[in-house]
Amino acid sequence: MNNIRHPFPMQQLTPVRSLNRTKQNSKETLQPDGFSAYLQNALTDTADAKALKISKHAGERLQERGIQLDSSTWEEIGEKVSEARQKGLNEMLVLVKDAALIVSAKNSTVITAMDRHEAGARIFSNINGAIIMES
């Protein structure tokens, strides 16, 4: 058994563990630690706390149905969703002049959208509130 030769001398082989450790160390030096990054985001995102996100599905529905809301309407919806979240609502129906939106207050995300005419023939489930806006 002592006569078996390895194709590479053992000194040239680098254990996989040390390569992974090197990659991890280089990533750690490039990225701030989790808490400081979170704190920095929280401090810089305070102005956008009421901003709504639009899910991919809702974005597609808005586009397909030709629903366009101006920025002031989006801001007002964001403010109302923030108020609703403070009152303990999780998911709600938001009715505006030309559209009906289902919004998750937990993460301030529009889940789906439809025009008001289409919404008239629907049953909405899994919501625990509604916001009706006159504008």
Domain boundaries, the chain: 15-44, 51-132
Spatial CB neighbours of 103, under 8 Å, sequence gap ≥ 6: 52, 77, 81, 91, 92, 93, 94, 109, 110, 111
The pTM is what?
0.63
| pLDDT for the residue 23 | 45
Tens-digit pLDDT string for the chain (135 aa): 555 554 444 444 444 444 444 444 444 444 445 555 554 554 454 445 568 899 999 999 999 999 999 989 999 999 999 999 999 999 999 999 989 999 999 999 999 999 998 998 889 999 999 999 986
| pLDDT for the residue 120 | 87
* Residue (of 11, 99, 14, 121) closest to 54 by Cα position: 99
